[in-house]
Amino acid sequence: MAAPALRNLEELAGLIRAFASERDWDQFHTPKNLAMGVAIEAAELMEEFHWLTPEQSAQLPPEQLQAVRHEMADVFVYLVLLADKLGVDLMAAAAEKIAINAGKYPADTVRGKATKYDKY
């Protein structure tokens, strides 16, 4: 089956809702379970990079890149579903968080540093 072309997060959320509804899975999609799903899938994504050197992680062979791509999609799907369940606009939340981080991490103070905001 070909993947549908999606234009925005709302269309993706609708596709995910329909997929879950067809399988009667909505009953299991509580915020708690979805948040756990995000973490579990993120761990599976991290597993793809476990033991790789920084250089290897930046140049994955095609089959490993495909596996990484699918794990990224799993994390994203769970996150979009969680946002949908809680009525969170992910785009607005991301923009808000970037603005908050800009205040915590002024570019002229932290440029080139990987230090947490309360440690510089």
Q: What percent of the chain stands above pLDDT 90?
A: 90
Residue 63: inside a domain: yes
Domain count, the chain: 1
Helices (H), the chain: 9-22, 31-49, 54-58, 62-86, 90-104, 107-110
Distance CA 93, CA 99 (A): 10
Half-sphere exposure of 89 (CA within 13 A, CB side): 4
Report the CATH number that the domain containing residue 59 is assigned in CATH: 1.10.287.1080
Residue 43: inside a domain: yes
Q: Residue 31 has which token pair? A: 């915020």
Residue 67: inside a domain: yes
Domain that holds residue 46: 29-107
For residue range 30-41, list pLDDT tens digits in order: 999 999 999 999
Q: pLDDT at position 29, please?
A: 97
Spatial contact of 80 and 37, defined as CB atoms under 8 Å apart:
no
